[in-house]
Amino acid sequence: MEEEKIRAENIFLELILLLALISFAYLFYKKEISVNSFVSTLSVKALPSYTLRSLTRMTLAYLFALIFSIAYGFAAATSERRARIMLPVLDILQSVPILAFFPAAIFFFIAIIPNKSIGVEFASIFLIFTSQVWNMAFGIYESLTTIPDYVRESYNFFDPRGILKFKRLLFPATIPKLIYNSMISWSNGWYFLVACEIFAVGNASYRLAGLGSFIMETATSGKISLTLLGILVLVLIIVLIDLFIWKPLSQWSRRFRYDITPGEKEENEVWDVVKIFWRAVGNVLRKLKPAAEKLESSFSKFSKIKHSKNFKKFTMILSRIIFTTIIAVTLYLIYRFALATPHLIKEISLSDFVISFKGLYFSFMRLLIAYLISLGWTVPVAILMFYHPQGAKVISPALQIIASIPAVSIFPLFLYYFMRFPHGLEITAIILILTGMQWYLLFNIYGGLKAIPSDMREVVNSFGLKGGLKFKRLLLPAALPSLMTGTITAWGGGWNTLIIAEYIVLKGKIYSVEGIGSLLDASLSEGKEGLFIVSLSLMVLTIFLINHFVYRPLYNKISDKFRMET
């Protein structure tokens, strides 16, 4: 009975949040802005500054995502009462395709920031932020709620408080998941780089100076040599960041795992030149150690204050103010939307619903085709990588680099090539959707297979299980929970990619296929607010229903039945 009550409360909360998001999109739908294009030159000389700007946007977005995810994850994981509210909110925010709300976000930031160019910059950073933050926040929450009981009991026995408990127990527990999810989030950021640097609002389109816009602009202008140069620079940056940042951090994070078996060997995947680089960084950081110790000392003093009655009273009042503000803003958005309802009813016609349902059908079929193609190659490749770990050391980094390349940037090249074939535009759209789905499946399935405990592998091997029987008894059960997680995130990525894949403007010419994504873009550019609200509401409601009545029951059933106990 209590479980049904919680579920009903979650559904009600999520529906209210969806309504608030739709209200937000509508309120900023008709705002008029005039922002000049910020891309002035397309030359090799401009490439370094464009690259630096894109890296700055990516870094700022990641830092904001890191701070938000740590704060949100800790707040939800340390209070069941807060989790009952925060988790449904997070689930909706990560499920809804944010690109559908991006025009409203642009209007919002330009409205609150006097300098329009800075407002657009904030809007682009916000889009990258939303592509990075949700899985990081979920990862931190999951890490904190799955700390083994014996570890918690050990710490509770000694009763460490404040900064000591955070430093010795809570934060270390989040590091493996945080590093892994950060790598995925960073790749997602690269994917949406072009979408945030080149976007259209109504009849106007805007270009921010950056690597993504450089690649897209040169491709649409027919300057293929500059396009290839831009892609080469992007790949080089991805490789360097992977070698000098993510690989060392990933190896360092292994020391914080709880599931390493006694016979498991520590693999060194970091090059000597990278070690030298990090030693130099370490020498610089050691000089800052006194300042860090002073900061830690002040945190320790703060932790003592934190347990005082006055501080607890202050935090309770502050949390209530924040909570009340959020509710007030949500209710205000819904109220403004309710006031506009009579006007909307006049604008909305029966044909808007027919067109939207038809567009949703075509979009869903494209997503399904892309998902089946993704499933068809990711499962055997993940199993192949699992069986051949030495080969996986080469294949996995290469695939991560390919996954990080924003396919949107080379969309014009796909388009020019496939337009010579029948249904070339459909093929191009499906390929682009495919790039937004397949990597979630591959890396999740491979991660699930790698997580099989070594003692379980030894038991299966001792029985001589091979081929189909080994797949049925070991690999499939181990991969199913991760496959389900990959499916949920893949479809989320697919819904987002629809907005780009189904409608694009190149050299002033519109290329579109019938679908819910193209309806959202076309209704914006043509000023059809009724069609915009109907198509947006239908898409969001469909995603909500699929999440609640398909994904969640399946995920819960699979994770309970096929959980790998260590």
Which of 76-90, 324-338, 375-389 reaches the highest mean pLDDT?
375-389
CATH topology of domain 347-566: MetI-like fold (1.10.3720)
For 219, phi then psi, to 5°, come to -65, -45
* Cβ pair 474, 465 in contact under 8 A: yes
CA-CA distances (angstroms) from residue 492 to 161, 177, 362, 452, 522? 39, 20, 17, 26, 22
Which residue pairs, CB below 8 angstroms and at least 24 apart, start in 252-255? 252/179, 253/175, 253/176, 253/178, 253/179, 253/180, 254/176
Least confident of 42-46, 241-245, 517-521: 42-46
Give 403's contacts (C-beta < 8 A, 6+ positions apart).
Answer: 187, 191, 439, 443
Over residues 361-371, the mean pLDDT reads 94
What pLDDT does residue 173 have? 81
pTM score, whole prediction: 0.79
Over residues 424-431, the mean pLDDT reads 87
pLDDT > 90: percent of the chain: 7
CA-CA distances (angstroms) from residue 209 to 52, 128, 129, 191, 306? 10, 15, 18, 17, 46
Under the banding of pLDDT at 50, 70 and 90, the label for residue 263 is very low
pLDDT at 160 over 70: no
pLDDT at 494 over 80: yes
373 half-sphere exposure, CB direction, 13 A CA radius: 17
pLDDT at 267 over 60: no
What pLDDT does residue 164 have? 66
Task: Judge if 1-260+267-287 and 347-566 fold alike in CATH terms.
Answer: yes
Over residues 115-119, the mean pLDDT reads 74
Under the banding of pLDDT at 50, 70 and 90, the label for residue 191 is confident
In sequence order, the β-bridge partners of residue 512 are 503
- What beta strand segments (E) does 43-104 contain? none
Bin 507: left if φ > 0, else alpha if -120 < ψ < 50, else beta.
left
pLDDT at 526 over 80: no
Over residues 298-325, the mean pLDDT reads 65
Under the banding of pLDDT at 50, 70 and 90, the label for residue 3 is low
pLDDT at 478 over 60: yes
Least confident of 33-47, 241-255, 407-421: 33-47
pLDDT at 135 over 90: no
What is the residue-averaged pLDDT of the chain?
Answer: 76
Cβ atoms within 10 Å of 193's Cβ, excluding its own: 31
Over residues 262-289, the mean pLDDT reads 64
Over residues 180-200, the mean pLDDT reads 77
Over residues 525-545, the mean pLDDT reads 84
DSSP reduced 3-state for 386: helix
Which of 2-11, 397-406, 507-516 reaches the highest mean pLDDT?
507-516
Give 42's contacts (C-beta < 8 A, 6+ positions apart).
Answer: 214, 217, 218, 221, 223, 226
What pLDDT does residue 41 have? 64
DSSP reduced 3-state for 201: strand
The residue extents of the domains of the chain are 1-260+267-287, 347-566
CA-CA distance, 174 to 155, in Å (whole number)?
16
Under the banding of pLDDT at 50, 70 and 90, the label for residue 566 is very low
227 half-sphere exposure, CB direction, 13 A CA radius: 17
pLDDT at 266 over 60: no
pLDDT in tens, 217-240: 777 777 778 888 888 888 888 888
> CATH assignment of 1-260+267-287?
1.10.3720.10
DSSP label at 124? H
What pLDDT does residue 376 have? 92
